[in-house]
Amino acid sequence: MSLPDSPEFLAGVIEGFYGPPWSHAERLQAFAWLRAAGLNTYVYAPKDDLHHRAHWREPYNAEDGGRLAALVHEARRHGLRFVYALSPGLDLRPGDPADLALLRRRGEQLLAFGIEHFALLFDDIPERFDTGSIASVHCSTTNHFFLWLREQLPTVRLAFCPTPYCGRMAERGVGEPGYLEAVGRELLPEIDVFWTGPEIISRELTVAHVHKVAGKLRRQPLIWDNLFANDYDGRRFFCGPYTGRSSALPGAVRGLLLNPNTEFPLNFVALHTLGAYVRDPAAYEPRAAYLAALRAWWPHFATVGAPLAWEDFVLFGDCYYLPYEDGPEAAALFERVRAALTAKPAPAVRAQIGRLRDFCARLTELKDRPLFYALSRRAWELREELDLLDRYLASSARLVASDFHLPGTYRGGFVPRLQRLLAPQPDGGFAPPP
């Protein structure tokens, strides 16, 4: 039996990012992709959907509620577990019977929509209450909701997101010292606990790390994996393979859920490589899975003109690989360009730059317009940088000019100016540049 077929193991996507939530149509497409990838779970948790976070006490109106019920029905039709998450921590009144009653009221409506699994999230919220332990308040609220849900639906499953949800946060005492240990003691053992790994965006997830966390939580964690999340940097997206996770990891956790790119059309490779990993972790090879997923994604890049070149598509994908690494083709191009800057002329390098620049330009011809709109600003920036480099390599001068790269309009604006005030240091800290 493959892991996604196990009734207990959750494998899929958690729509848990900041930014515009996916549309109803995009979620339906996500269900089809999840099913095709052999995954089994979708978690509804978009941070900037008012129903999820800011207005967690308010019930759905008839129109929005009908749309949600239809979405739940479609998830079930695709064989997916639909998990609905609420995030009450921004303004939860500790121990307030009125808030607990409103939480149950939301639960009643959601159960009526056909939802059978839930989550309560206490991430990214104020870390202190005026009185009492923050961990105890979170646990007692979650326990109350879980016990009430079990009375309504004995098969319900509930997940909990702690305020310190990665190793670095726990080490810094986010929430309060001993928060995770308190969760281990006080949270009912049937409730799952989300965890992102040693970091918010974890380059690696090892069994040793997971076992250490499980010892504190007194249960295996449920992984909320931010490897592909891009809401923290709108200039990037990630279409590389699911990687950096031990082949033994699935046996040490309650599930693997990707928090994906904010822009729905850019998640094809992420979901399909996760599916390949979960189906057979021991045989999984990231680069092979990446190329296979790219090949399956390739039809979405049909144009109104001549076909794009496959090798240029692979290079383009390698330019937007993963948070901590470029794909090998992009990494090799970077090194060739860097070497050429001091050894002009460079016809071979310029030819490769030109092909990639032209690929970016021709994305305007994509028939799949939502895909183009998701790519356009990133591809435009890449195209501009390639054009500037090509101008420099083509010139014998030490300095080159460009009508499209002028002070104030190129790399300009208030935020870039702020970013130049502190420079990142090798140890991860920041300091004024020398």
Compute the chain's Rg from CA coordinates: 24
Residue 385 CA to residue 296 CA, distance in Å, equals: 29
Q: Which of 49, 124, 231, 326 is catalytic?
A: 124
Annotation says 124 is catalytic: yes
| In the block, residue with structure tokens 């409730």 | 191
SS3 per-residue string spanning the chain: CCHHHCCCCEEEEEECCCCCCCCHHHHHHHHHHHHHCCCCEEEECCCCCCCCCCCCCCCCCHHHHHHHHHHHHHHHHCCCEEEEEECCCCCCCCCCHHHHHHHHHHHHHHHHCCCCEEEEECCCCCCCCCCCCHHHHHHHHHHHHHHHHHHHCCCCEEEEECCCCCHHHHHHCCCCCCHHHHHHHHCCCCCEEEECCCCCCCCCECHHHHHHHHHHHCCCCEEEECCCCCCCCCCCCCCCCCCCECCCHHHHCCEEEECCCCCHHHHHHHHHHHHHHHHCHHHCCHHHHHHHHHHHHHHHHCECCCCCCHHHHHHHHHHCCECCECCHHHHHHHHHHHHHCCCCCCHHHHHHHHHHHHHHHHHHHECCHHHHHHHHHHHHHHHHHHHHHHHHHHCCCCCCCCCCCCCCCCCCCHHHHHHCCCEECCCCCEECCC
The distance between the two most distant Cα atoms of the chain, rounded to a whole number of Å, is: 77
Residues annotated catalytic, as ranges: 124
